[in-house]
Amino acid sequence: MPTLYRQYRPQNFEEILGQNYIKTIIQNEILTNKIAHAYLFCGPRAVGKTTMARVLAKAVNCLQRKPNEFEPCNKCENCLNINNGRNLDIIEIDAASNTGVDNVRENVISSSRIGSNSNKYKVFIIDEVHMLSINAFNALLKVLEEPPLHVIFILCTTEIHKVPSTIISRCQRFDFKRISVVDMVKKLEKIVKMEGIKVEKGILEAVARQADGYLRDAESLLGQIISIGGDTITQEEADLVIPRSDFNEIVSLLEYLTKKDTVKAIQLVNNLIDNGLSLKNFVADLIQVVRKIMLAKVNPNLSESLGLNFGETLEMKINTLTDTLTLSQLVRYLEKFNQVNNELKNNFIIQLPLELAIIDLCLGEAPAVNQPLKTNMTPPSTPVQNSYTAPKSVPPAPNRTVAMNSDVSLEQILAKWSEDLVRVKPFNHSLSFVLQACVVSQLDGNKLLLTFKYKFHKDRVSSPEIKVGLENILLEVYGANLIIEALVDENLELQTVVPEKIETQASEPLKPNNIINNILKTFGGEVVS
Ligand SMILES: [Zn+2]
């Protein structure tokens, strides 16, 4: 069977997948007869740069194209010759195999001065143009500075940063994007139809996903599958070529996690192993799916624009998950799964990292979310993870609903802010550090706004245990019942909050009271001397 990507290479603009914005501009240039002297097509490999170049070369040289059309006819002598690679005026150079300056001089410069044989335009398509030597670029630049009439250069590159800016500035530049799963599936459907082969859409979508935006890879994979199977391609045949990954199982796992069903989630993972599924592929796909849901959550257009559409079948399944999961959950999942991915190969029990992640995700966040810690300092339910042994029974902190008067002003707070830091520091150095990286920005009633430069600082201070602990310290220092609200401002300019005098004060022994003990337990801090 001939290579599918050659056989089904687009012969006109309509058949070119994606790149709609680029197509529209070039088609318009053809219609208005405003063809540039030099084009620069950049972008990843296998997304249609040279295909676009050939169609453009054909369109400008087509003998039967009418003034109000942009598509080549694919029937006239010029079109047919270009399709067969026999047209002498369409010169394709692969710079990756032809880097010498002499070669470029010979191929490009001398021949660009000679008029075209039978065409309207002589077209030079230089693929992987970034591979040219400095001398070759200089020679090319000379031609581009005074381009001969009826000569078009189309420079293609996967590494635009290696192309000299003097060349770039003389070209009309187009950035090609990876091709979406949806677009790719359309093309694959067309191919299997032409080949008279029945393949389920789910399999074509899996092929497209595996190809990761590179059409040539997708066509190559499909070609391999077709060469194994008969007139109807089964899942088993497809499995031989593309690594099996069951997206149904991924969706199920995520559903179990949202329900915090640890047992079912772990059973699922072990069933996958028993069925011989590669856990590495499973985790890789799991990360892809969670990433997609996360980006869709940030902005639905974002995942689309990044070509993260998985194809209809899967999209429908993950839609409900997008509604159920919060952004912070998704971030946490992704961090965990990424960690699992890094740990997979070093484990003698292959599924262990994933099992640990599942347990952590199912159990880990429960107390922080559910426990009402607003009004009362109850001992944290998480086990103490440090060497410091806190008193076993902790008397409750003063009832916060009583002391509701907050006569304290922002100035007073700022004046004594260092004292808050001091009270925290001997017992939890890192919390003190976090608080130094914030600005006490506003007092709104009894709500104290703290602005942080970094989100992870804000998140830390916003977690219920720490928030309540801090509010209790504020109560002690100011005698006012203040509620902390943490904000993030990436442009925040941090000032030093702790003067040196306070630093010396901090080293004086402070008697740990119960509130501090509690914070200490929560943070897992350690008493240093
Ligand atoms: Zn033609």
217 with 309, same domain: the answer is: no
Calculate how far, in angstroms, residue 64's C-alpha sits from the geometric centre of ligand 1.
5
Is residue 344 a contact partner of residue 350, using CB atoms and an 8 Å limit?
A: yes
Q: Which CATH number belongs to the domain containing residue 284 in this structure?
A: 1.20.272.10
Q: What's the rounded Cα separation, in Å, for the pair 222 and 504? A: 72
Calculate how far, in angstroms, residue 85's C-alpha sits from the geometric centre of ligand 1.
14
Calculate how far, in angstroms, residue 123's C-alpha sits from the geometric centre of ligand 1.
15
Is residue 489 a contact partner of residue 391, using CB atoms and an 8 Å limit?
A: no
Q: pTM for this structure?
A: 0.57
Q: What would the mean pLDDT of 409-429 be, rounded to a whole number? A: 71
Residue 452, domain member (yes or no): yes
Q: Which CATH number belongs to the domain containing residue 49 in this structure?
A: 3.40.50.300
Calculate how far, in angstroms, residue 182's C-alpha sits from the geometric centre of ligand 1.
30
Calculate how far, in angstroms, residue 16's C-alpha sits from the geometric centre of ligand 1.
17
Helix axes 49-61, 20-31, angle to 10 degrees: 20
Q: What is the tens place of the pLDDT at every residue in 84-106?
A: 888 888 888 888 875 555 667 66
Residue 170: is its pLDDT beyond 90?
yes
Q: State whether residue 307 is helix, strand or coil.
A: coil
Determine what percent of the chain is predicted with pLDDT higher than 70. 77
Q: What's the rounded Cα separation, in Å, for the pair 174 and 184? A: 21
Residue 36: is its pLDDT beyond 90?
yes
36 with 137, same domain: the answer is: yes
Residue 395, domain member (yes or no): no
Domain hosting residue 189, numbered range? 181-239
Residue 266, domain member (yes or no): yes
Calculate how far, in angstroms, residue 74's C-alpha sits from the geometric centre of ligand 1.
5
Residue 445: is its pLDDT beyond 80?
yes
Q: What's the rounded Cα separation, in Å, for the pair 413 and 410? A: 5
Residue 405, domain member (yes or no): no
pLDDT for res 216: 86
150 with 66, same domain: the answer is: yes
Is residue 475 a contact partner of residue 482, using CB atoms and an 8 Å limit?
A: yes
30 with 144, same domain: the answer is: yes
Which contiguous run of DSSP H or E holds residue 136?
helix 134-145
357 with 472, same domain: the answer is: no
- Residue 210 CA, chain-centre distance (Å), reads 16
Residue 221, domain member (yes or no): yes
Calculate how far, in angstroms, residue 79's C-alpha sits from the geometric centre of ligand 1.
4
Calculate how far, in angstroms, residue 69's C-alpha sits from the geometric centre of ligand 1.
11
Is residue 313 a contact partner of residue 201, using CB atoms and an 8 Å limit?
A: yes
Calculate how far, in angstroms, residue 26's C-alpha sits from the geometric centre of ligand 1.
17
Q: What would the mean pLDDT of 413-442 be, rounded to a whole number? A: 71
Domain boundary among 330, 362, 394: 362
93 with 73, same domain: the answer is: yes
Calculate how far, in angstroms, residue 242's C-alpha sits from the geometric centre of ligand 1.
39
pLDDT for res 369: 38
Q: Which CATH number belongs to the domain containing residue 414 in this structure?
A: 3.30.300.180
Calculate how far, in angstroms, residue 35's C-alpha sits from the geometric centre of ligand 1.
17
Calculate how far, in angstroms, residue 44's C-alpha sits from the geometric centre of ligand 1.
29
Reported as half-sphere exposure (CB side, CA atoms, 13 A), residue 47 has a value of 23
Tokens of 404: 């509701």
Calculate how far, in angstroms, residue 177's C-alpha sits from the geometric centre of ligand 1.
28
Calculate how far, in angstroms, residue 192's C-alpha sits from the geometric centre of ligand 1.
27
Residue 385, domain member (yes or no): no
pLDDT for res 410: 83
Beta-carbon neighbour count of residue 352 at 10 Å? 14
Q: What is the tens place of the pLDDT at every residue in 448-497?
A: 888 887 777 787 788 777 787 788 888 877 888 888 888 888 777 665 44
- Angstrom CA distances, 334 to 284, 426, 459, 488, stand at 11, 35, 17, 22
21 with 169, same domain: the answer is: yes
Reported as half-sphere exposure (CB side, CA atoms, 13 A), residue 388 has a value of 20
pLDDT for res 91: 86
Q: Which CATH number belongs to the domain containing residue 191 in this structure?
A: 1.10.8.60
Calculate how far, in angstroms, residue 39's C-alpha sits from the geometric centre of ligand 1.
22
Domain boundary among 297, 330, 362: 362
Calculate how far, in angstroms, residue 46's C-alpha sits from the geometric centre of ligand 1.
25
317 with 445, same domain: the answer is: no
Residue 59: is its pLDDT beyond 90?
yes
457 with 475, same domain: the answer is: yes
Q: Looking at the 3D structure of the chain, how many domains does it have?
A: 4
Residue 392, domain member (yes or no): no
Tokens of 99: 């880097």
pLDDT for res 427: 52
Query: Which stretch of 232-236, 339-343, 355-359, 365-369 has the lowest confidence by average pLDDT?
Result: 365-369
Polymer length of the chain: 529
110 with 63, same domain: the answer is: yes
321 with 222, same domain: the answer is: no
Calculate how far, in angstroms, residue 60's C-alpha sits from the geometric centre of ligand 1.
9
Rg (CA), the chain: 32
Residue 309, domain member (yes or no): yes
Average pLDDT of the chain to the nearest whole number: 78
Residue 57: is its pLDDT beyond 50?
yes
208 with 276, same domain: the answer is: no
Q: Categorise residue 323: left if φ over 0, alpha if ψ from -120 to 50, beta otherwise.
A: alpha
Which contiguous run of DSSP H or E holds residue 126?
strand 122-127
Calculate how far, in angstroms, residue 190's C-alpha sits from the geometric centre of ligand 1.
24
